[in-house]
Amino acid sequence: MNESPVLVHVWQVDPAAEAAVIGRLEEMLGDVVKDPGFLKARVFQSADRTSIAITIEMASAEDRQRLEQLPEVRGTLDNLHGTANLIIRLYQEVGVFTA
């Protein structure tokens, strides 16, 4: 399988820590958007506020690999206070549907 330019990361989160967790992700993503390979990032929360997910889409798998190695990004993804890592997966786009 080819490496993917898309990173999907999901955390279990204590609802009391949710606002701080989202704030930390927004802070990290504020730096990520300055990267020349950056295309799009999204932050999601579950309806019960016990799970948060992000997707980061880069222009290439190499851009995504480089981004993941930045200390600020790696530290946030691996050690987000108030959470437990659930899923770290790389995805390759297999279809696009638009209106």
- CA dist., res. 94 & res. 69, Å (int): 26
Residue-wise pLDDT for 29-54, tens only, equals 998 999 999 999 999 999 988 889 89
Q: What is the pLDDT of residue 90?
A: 63
According to DSSP, residue 17 is labeled: G
Average pLDDT, the chain: 85
Q: Domain segments of the chain: what residues?
A: 6-91
DSSP string, 59-81: SSHHHHHHHHHSHHHHHHHH--T
- Topology of domain 6-91 in CATH is Alpha-Beta Plaits (3.30.70)
Residue 97: pLDDT above 80? no
50-85 CB burial, b ≥16 within 10 A, e <16: ebbbbebbbeebebbbebeeeeebeebbeebebbee
Q: What is the pLDDT of residue 58?
A: 93
pTM: 0.81
